[in-house]
Amino acid sequence: MSEKPFFTGPFASMCEAFVEQKRATGADYSQQAILLRMFDNFCKDYEIQDYTITKEVALAWCRKRPNEADATRHGRVGEMQRFAQYLCRQGYPSYVLPVPPTRGAQHVPYIFTVDELRRIFEQLDSLKPTELSPNRHLTMPLLFRMLYGCGLRISEALNLLKSDVNLQDGVLHIRHGKNGRERFVPMSATLAEECEKYALAVHKDTTDLTPFFYAKGGTPYSASSIGKFFRGILWDVGIPYRGSQLGPRVHDLRHTFCCHNIQKWAEAGLPVHSNLLILSRYIGHTSISATQYYLRLTAQAFPHIRDICEKNLGGMYAPFAIEIEEAYNG
């Protein structure tokens, strides 16, 4: 018995080709494929010709539904946008929204100072084991150093298995990054040494499939529990938590990693823009446009960097449109 096709609407063959192309880059694309199938099914009520998304269809799909959250609407409309752009590249002119709908309130990135990081890590290093968390004095200092030192997303760090941390070469295997993409992340020699010490202390009798950072009983930590723990650390070191949209959040360590690297390149006279390509791949961005947002963020955090980059890049900070959503949430 043949398997029922996933796509059955007027764009079925193009949807299949689009998803196949995305997955060829290493993306899982499961959730996005579901949104695309919803759009394909939606189009069954319209007369679609030559694989073209008309303005009528696009605007109808964009209408906000009753009780629909902004983030939900943003996700389904964004997927149609990407598909429309793909169709245009394939020679099927389609309507692309000039301004995609916003996804509601955005988090404002918080860039930690070097002194704030020092205080945070000193507090982490002073942790004592507890009955509920017998390894927290070992786990938390390393986890947060890895988040900042490698610019990882919290989900990427918590999803690491013992076998994903190559202690010999000092490389992390990120199997499930954003959108299911995998990549390899080299660590500094110092961080690799800390990982080796940690593994000797907590992974003597564990299997390769054990989470590298595990709670009592060998279970993985949740991102929410780490976020709550981090807010406690911030309180202890006198860094105020300003709310869900202002943070600081755990994810701001990733933002800080990017900005601090750009700061170092600029001050050392290194080519910032070409190094952004390396940074973009290192942190798992799908396009350099998302990483370019950190140029502006770095200039805001370190005003003297603006002058350096203006001189080297010729007006890089003049007003220009940048897709910032992946940088905010990436």
- Residue 183's φ and ψ, nearest 5 degrees, are -160, 170
Beta-carbon contacts of residue 115 (< 8 Å; ≥ 6 apart): none
What is the reported pLDDT for 324?
29
For the CA atoms of 273, 274, 277, 283, the dihedral, rounded to the nearest 10 degrees, stands at: -70
What is the reported pLDDT for 327?
35
Q: What is the domain partition of the chain in residue ranges? A: 12-89, 132-177+185-236, 252-329
What is the reported pLDDT for 212?
97
Beta-carbon contacts of residue 189 (< 8 Å; ≥ 6 apart): 170
Tokens of 320: 């220009």
pLDDT per residue rounded down to tens, the chain (330 residues):
567 889 999 999 999 999 999 888 777 788 889 999 999 999 999 999 999 999 999 999 988 888 888 888 888 898 999 999 999 999 999 988 775 555 555 677 889 999 999 999 999 999 999 888 899 999 999 999 999 999 999 999 999 999 999 999 999 999 988 767 889 999 999 999 999 999 999 999 999 999 999 998 888 999 999 999 999 999 999 999 887 767 799 999 999 999 998 888 888 888 887 888 888 888 888 777 777 778 777 877 777 665 665 555 443 333 322 232 333 344
What is the reported pLDDT for 323?
31
Answer whether 138's CB lies under 8 Å from 198's CB.
yes
Answer whether 44's CB lies under 8 Å from 60's CB.
no
| Domain range 132-177+185-236, CATH architecture | Orthogonal Bundle (1.10)
What is the reported pLDDT for 296?
74
Answer whether 164's CB lies under 8 Å from 152's CB.
no
Pairing outcome for strands 183-186 and 165-166: unpaired
- The DSSP H or E segment spanning 171 is strand 171-174
Answer whether 58's CB lies under 8 Å from 93's CB.
no
What is the reported pLDDT for 182?
87
pTM above 0.85, yes or no: no
Tokens of 282: 């290192």
Answer whether 39's CB lies under 8 Å from 6's CB.
no
Tokens of 12: 């079925």
